[in-house]
Amino acid sequence: MISIAKLSLPQFSATILAMIDTFLVPEKTVVNAKGDGPAIDVSSAANRVFLLTLNITNIIEQQSLDVSIFGSADGAAWSPKPIMMFPQKFYRAQHPMLLDLTAHSEIKFVRAHWEVNRWGRGTETPMFEFHVTMREVPTEILKEAAAEVKALA
């Protein structure tokens, strides 16, 4: 004989917010001229601090890549100046940076912009394969980091 017991679980209500984890520049993007990534809506973010990672996966020599991030209130009109810039890059690697929008409540959308340059011998056309990821940083991690900084001060 099999006996099945009923479990009674307390009722609870929770709102689960999806953390933003997306691409500002899609994976395996190959560029040889300046351009822009898609507009990404960040208005639903529970926390307005993001880890952006520029990942350069393929290059040719003697060229540079400049990637900057622009903000917008409506996804159509973009800030005249970037809200964040990665340092100029020349080689394959991963380059993480934090984007803190806590003081910019008017920004509802972000997008990446890139410019490339080539010099020296060979073809004059630059070529970079790269992508940029964007991950919302959980509040717990920010609190932990702030506590650690305070303890070290």
Q: What is the pLDDT of residues 1-28, one digit of tens each?
A: 343 444 444 454 444 456 899 999 999 9
Please give the model's pTM, rounded to 2 decimal places: 0.83
pLDDT in tens, 15-72: 445 689 999 999 999 999 999 999 999 999 988 999 999 999 999 999 999 999 999 9
For the chain, the straight-line distance linking the first and the last C-alpha, in angstroms and rounded, comes to 66
Report the DSSP pairing between strands 35-36 and 40-41.
unpaired
- Give the pLDDT band of residue 144 (cuts 50, 70, 90): confident
To which H or E segment does residue 143 belong?
helix 139-152
Burial call 25-53: b when 16+ CB within 10 Å, e when fewer = beeebebeeeeebebbebeebebbbbebe
CATH topology of domain 21-152: Jelly Rolls (2.60.120)
DSSP state of 139: H
